[in-house]
Amino acid sequence: MKSISLKLSLTGAALLVGASFLLSGCSDGDAQTLSAPAPVAAAALAPNTTAVLVHGAWAEGSSWNTVIPLLQQAGLNVVAVELPRTSLADDAAAVTRTIDLQTGPVILVGHSYGGSVITQAGNDAKVSALVYVAAFAPDSGQSINDVTAPFPTPAWEKSLVVDEGGYLSVPTATILSVFAPDVPTAQAQLMAATQGPIFNHCLADKVTTAAWHTKPSWWVVSGQDQVIPAALQQATAQQIGATVSISPESSHFVMVSHPNDVAAAIIAAANKTAAAK
């Protein structure tokens, strides 16, 4: 399918770690493991801090359902955005509208394609930190396709279905075996049934100004990710100067299968940025 150019491979991602245009020397030793979150007193956070959660390409706001209660118990306000998935600009605009409704600082969280969206929308003055969850973080003038172009096409990409309007969807079997193999089958099937197709060109849309240049960042690496390999995630996290935590057994849908690991990173970002003010 010529219209699809989302290219990743474990081999290519491993090579990326040593590439000169991403910082060399990334290893597990660069990561710090976060413990599972315990309830955090509201006084430890900046007043009215809100975690704005941005889902990935084929997910939806409900993909954060197991993370949201943990954040609320910690004293955070939480909003999960629903993306139109028509263009990067449209998706970033949807996130910006949500940010504008908040009365305090925002911890902006993005999963997978949502990482590109928060990289674009995170320049908003209310955003105090970015949290990337098994995500992409393109640089200014760069798209997801640009990031993945050096690598061979992964086998799972061949299963993607393209409709007449140019929207991509993922077969149930691929979600079960590649995207969410550590998620209970019934739940993964529900995720497949409720997925939102994404317009193909979203993957080619370029970030104008990457927010991670000016905003502190955190990164949750999914250790068994077959969609965005852990080596690529770690290399990108080091490039942007993110504080890294690793969920070693998790698939691409780490927020579903290992919500404590994701919540811990978000809470850490909220507390750290509050303490810095």
Judge whether residue 34 has pLDDT over 70: no
pLDDT tens column, 35-89 = 444 544 444 677 899 999 999 999 999 999 999 999 999 999 999 999 999 999 9
Residue with the two structure tokens 């509208």: 97
Point out which residues pair with 219 in neighbouring strands: 132, 244
| pTM assigned to the model | 0.87
The average confidence (pLDDT) of the chain is 87
Spatial distance between the Cα atoms of 138 and 153, rounded to a whole number of angstroms: 19
What does the angle CA 10 – CA 260 – CA 84 come to, to the nearest 5 degrees?
70
Q: Is 65 left (phi over 0), alpha (psi -120 to 50) or beta?
A: alpha
Q: What domains lie within the chain, and their CATH numbers?
A: 40-276 (3.40.50.1820)
Burial 237-259 (b: 16+ CB within 10 A, else e): bbbbebbbbbbeebbbbbbbbbb
pLDDT tens column, 113-145 = 999 999 999 999 999 999 999 999 999 999 999
Spatial distance between the Cα atoms of 142 and 138, rounded to a whole number of angstroms: 5
Which is more confidently placed, 62 or 12? 62
Residue with the two structure tokens 């955070």: 76
Spatial distance between the Cα atoms of 270 and 87, rounded to a whole number of angstroms: 29
Residues 6 or more apart in contact with residue 260 via CB below 8 angstroms: 36, 37, 70
